[in-house]
Homo-oligomer: A and B are copies of this chain.
Amino acid sequence: MNSKFSYQCNDCGREIPGEGIVYLCSECAGRQKAGQPPAGILKVIYNPLLLRGLTFKKLEENRFIDLLPFNDTRSLPFLRTGNTPLYRISGRETAIRGHELFIKDDSQNPTFSFKDRASAVVSAFAKEQEISTIVAASTGNAGSSLAGMCAAQGQKAVIFAPASAPAAKLTQILMYGAVLVPVNGNYDIAFDLSIEATKHFGWYNRNTAYNPLTIEGKKTAAFEIYSQLGHRIPDRIFVPVGDGVIISGIYKGFEDMLKSGITDSMPEIVAVQAEGSSNLVDNIGKKEFNYTPSSTLADSISVDIPRNFRMAEKYLLQYKGKTLKVSDWQILEASRQLAAQTGLFAEPAAAAAYAGYLLTCATGITGKGSINVLLLTGSGLKDLKSVQPLLHIPEAVSPDIHSVTSLLKENTDLL
């Protein structure tokens, strides 16, 4: 093979050549049963002949292009995507337990979420293939991310969303000038319609756990973490999990470095789900996939059938990942603590990962001197509604010092 990359089916392992548009392994995809996670999702495999002698230094200098599924970093949107800060956090837990905590703040992306990494890569690939219209099914971060990246690139985004999505969620998508198609039906129906429309109109589809390039974008966070830790693999990474795509992206990044000989070990990844939406962690290693309807305030990880279950499961089993569940109350409380103790206002999904970290601390298994990393997937500004139960607005005071003193006395816990 001469091409830069090919695809490999996550289920049958079959290799599919070609650098053009490829979505699923047609054989395995055809075998999907109702009520079961999709099969036949592909991984991008890079030509080992072209990777010979690749060092991390070279990878960094070339902005990771050797391990990305397009040819030129100039094809990426001009907006600063990725290169987000990795903050070392000094707090009560780190002092008591003697470990280190780092937070990868992906709210500092152009559309304020981690999803920009995937959209940027899909958009760059489309640009090189001279594709002008990109489609996604989404009501949230993925949709606004694709819309924003396409706006930056002069491409057209078409977003299929369940008609029940609240207007506030769609504001970013509409402002970026995307074409919005509200669909009478739930996310799965919007997802299927977006794929049908993609074929019918000859567009390009960004759906996650369908287009294999989204994982290639998401994996860049792993490269950056390794770089920012001074070329060290962390001991543990806490990742919020919904459909299993972000966690697969993080695994893929570390696996790409492992397979190309840059590193020789893998981090322990902790998959954190909400108790009310835990179908991914609950089904790992089970013969039959069974699901419970999901309900959690962390709606970007609220998922009935995780679309990338099969790949995430494989990764978690192969690399001995851990799983955790946290309650909605723990998510809210973690969200409050994180903001008040660090100044990082995270979306509930990211707060779930922090809740998972706090739970792990409580069990005392973080290990002295261990390096722990938390993935902050998006800004709290994206979902102001869900944190309202936390907020207490005191009675208004009259404009005199006596009233201010009373308010402060009545709220001694505040000072």
Contacts and interface: CB of A to CB of B under 8 A. Distances in A.
Nearest to A165: B393
Total copies of the chain: 2
8 contacts: A79-B343, A151-B342, A153-B343, A156-B415, A181-B404, A181-B407, A182-B397, A184-B399
A284 interface: no
Contacts of A404: 181, 193, 197, 200
A258 interface: no
Given A88-B78, A391-B167, A151 B341 contact: yes
Interface string A167-190: 110111011110111111100011
A1 interface: no
A171 B345 CA distance: 10
Interface string A398-413: 1111001001100100
A65 B79 CA distance: 28
A227 to B, nearest CB: 16
Contacts of A49: none
Interface stretch (A6-14, A268-276, A379-387): A379-387
Interface residues of A, number: 77
A394 to B, nearest CB: 6
A108 B110 CA distance: 8
Interface stretch (A249-257, A289-297, A332-340): A332-340
A143 interface: no
A52 interface: no
Contacts of A180: 393-394
Contact of A175 (B105, B335, B397, B400): B335
B108 A108 contact: yes
A167 to B, nearest CB: 7
A316 B381 CA distance: 35
A112 interface: yes
A343 B151 contact: yes
A401 B202 CA distance: 13
B182 A396 contact: yes
Contacts of A400: 193
Interface in A82-130: 85, 87-88, 105, 108, 110-112
B396 A179 contact: no
Contacts of A387: 171, 175
A297 to B, nearest CB: 15
Given A177-B340, A193-B404, 7 more contacts: A149-B343, A151-B342, A175-B345, A176-B340, A179-B411, A181-B404, A196-B401
A167 B345 contact: no
A27 interface: no
A179 B415 CA distance: 7
A342 B78 CA distance: 9
A414 to B, nearest CB: 5
B189 A393 contact: no
A384 to B, nearest CB: 5
Interface in A348-389: 379-382, 384, 387-388
